């Protein structure tokens, strides 16, 4: 017992050393103001990776009954069991209460992976989007590709445009697609490296559904910034992110057909990058209206903890022990 305690303390020490104090101080100040008492318990989860959980999204294009049995033996159970108005039977995700990570699969050319490891909250934007067979879809900031893969588990699109502006991330996105999507379907997918802010002008009113999983100050990874310089730069640039997010959303609205819907998501707790951006869009674009997603939130409240007091068209997943999912902000809009 003493040995395991000693090991735990040492491991904890190592993990604590990796936390970037500059970022933590910045978050401390901002989130104490924005989230009040809730911040302390969120901080405990975010700064202690040993309590993080990972969900296992099954790939319907490479099914294995053996895998589901293994998952059940290891204490996993299917997620999203509540009375969800939209949950395709082909979207299968397994989670468990205890922390830990199922082993990842390596990329092998010509061989499809059986599952994708992700933060379970990442599936909420996909559920909110409600993609259906035959719809033309745009994933505006698609890398590394988990949400694109999840959308393809839900439905067979007409056309599917996955875009990623960043060179390295774009390569990553292509590899993800090759790892999960079989040949006939992969021909329907266009992977581009366009500036997301220009897509609306280049492809006006072309899509039925658009996902904007925007570049944001990723609270989990920023806390473990590898060096002070990188952290300082990130914190300086943080102020400019909401302007970029606003421009991406404006572009996405132009790319949407009238009657089409859009989901905006980030993996930050920051109000400036979440509800403030959505409010700005609603106040400045007369051709969009908010869509109520509170029923969806209610149906998955067993699995996730949400910030209370948000509007009906938005939700914010707060990480807590045993439900260490998020942060994940989701908002839904419709073009009129």
pLDDT tens-place string over residues 6-64 = 444 444 444 445 899 999 999 999 999 999 999 999 999 999 999 999 999 999 999 88
- For the ranges 15-19, 101-105, 223-227, 277-281, the lowest mean pLDDT is seen at 15-19
Per-residue model confidence (pLDDT) at position 300 = 96
Per-residue model confidence (pLDDT) at position 110 = 85
- Please tell me the distance from the alpha carbon of residue 152 to that of residue 146, in angstroms, as a whole number: 10
Per-residue model confidence (pLDDT) at position 6 = 43
Does pTM surpass 0.85? yes
Integer distance in angstroms from the first to the last C-alpha of the chain?
63
Q: Is 110 annotated as a binding residue?
A: no
20 in active site: no
Per-residue model confidence (pLDDT) at position 148 = 98
Q: Tens of pLDDT along 296-321?
A: 999 999 999 999 999 999 999 999 99
Per-residue model confidence (pLDDT) at position 323 = 96
Per-residue model confidence (pLDDT) at position 89 = 94
Confidence of residue 103 (pLDDT cuts 50, 70, 90): very high
Cβ–Cβ < 8 Å for 82, 304: no
Angle between helices 228-255 and 275-284 in degrees, nearest 10: 30
Checking if the pLDDT of 204 tops 70, the result is yes
Average pLDDT (284-289) is 98
Checking if the pLDDT of 277 tops 50, the result is yes
- Please tell me the distance from the alpha carbon of residue 42 to that of residue 324, in angstroms, as a whole number: 9
Confidence of residue 4 (pLDDT cuts 50, 70, 90): very low
Q: Give the 3-state secondary structure of 238-284.
A: HHHHHHHHHHHHHHHHHHEEEEEEEEEEECCCCHHHCHHHHHHHHHH
Half-sphere exposure of 332 (CA within 13 A, CB side): 21
Per-residue model confidence (pLDDT) at position 11 = 46
Per-residue model confidence (pLDDT) at position 208 = 98
Q: Is 146 annotated as a binding residue?
A: yes
Per-residue model confidence (pLDDT) at position 1 = 42
Q: Is 141 annotated as a binding residue?
A: yes
Q: Is 40 annotated as a binding residue?
A: no
- For the ranges 65-79, 95-109, 205-219, 284-298, the lowest mean pLDDT is seen at 95-109
Average pLDDT (165-182) is 94
Per-residue model confidence (pLDDT) at position 18 = 84
Q: Is 213 annotated as a binding residue?
A: yes
* Domains present along the chain, CATH in parentheses: 21-52+120-335 (3.40.50.150)
Handedness of CA 98, 130, 273, 146 (dihedral sign): positive
Q: Tens of pLDDT along 83-98?
A: 999 999 999 999 999 9
Per-residue model confidence (pLDDT) at position 65 = 86
Q: Which of 20, 51, 267, 285 is catalytic?
A: 267
SS3 335: strand
């Amino acid at each position: 017992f003493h040995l395991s305690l000693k090991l735990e303390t040492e491991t904890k020490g190592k993990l604590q050393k990796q936390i970037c104090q500059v970022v933590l101080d910045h978050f401390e100040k901002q989130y104490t103001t924005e989230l009040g008492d809730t911040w302390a318990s969120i901080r405990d989860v975010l700064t202690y990776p040993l309590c993080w959980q990972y969900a296992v999204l099954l790939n319907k294009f490479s099914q294995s009954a053996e895998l589901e049995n293994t998952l059940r033996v290891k204490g996993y159970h299917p997620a999203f069991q509540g009375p969800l108005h939209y949950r395709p039977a082909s979207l299968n995700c397994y989670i468990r209460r205890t922390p830990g990570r199922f082993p990842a699969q390596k990329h092998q050319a010509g061989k499809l992976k059986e599952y994708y490891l992700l933060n379970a909250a990442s599936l909420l934007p996909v559920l909110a989007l409600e993609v259906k067979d035959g719809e033309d879809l745009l994933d505006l900031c698609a890398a590394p590709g988990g949400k694109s893969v999840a959308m393809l588990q839900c439905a067979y699109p007409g056309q599917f445009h996955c875009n990623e502006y960043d060179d390295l991330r774009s390569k990553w996105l292509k590899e993800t697609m090759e790892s999960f999507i079989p040949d006939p379907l992969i021909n329907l997918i266009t992977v581009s490296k366009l500036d997301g802010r220009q897509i609306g002008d280049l492809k006006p009113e072309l899509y039925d559904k658009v996902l904007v999983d925007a570049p944001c100050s990723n609270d989990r990874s920023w806390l473990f910034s590898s060096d002070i310089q990188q952290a300082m730069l990130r914190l300086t640039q943080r102020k400019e992110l909401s302007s970029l997010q606003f421009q991406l959303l404006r572009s996405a609205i132009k790319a949407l057909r009238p009657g089409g819907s859009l989901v905006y998501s980030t993996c930050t707790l920051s109000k400036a990058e979440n509800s403030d951006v959505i409010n700005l869009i609603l106040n400045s674009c007369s051709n969009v209206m908010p869509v109520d997603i509170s029923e969806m939130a209610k149906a998955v409240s067993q699995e996730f903890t949400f910030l209370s007091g948000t509007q009906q068209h938005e939700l914010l997943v707060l990480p807590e022990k045993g439900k260490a999912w998020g942060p994940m902000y989701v908002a839904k809009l419709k073009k009129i």
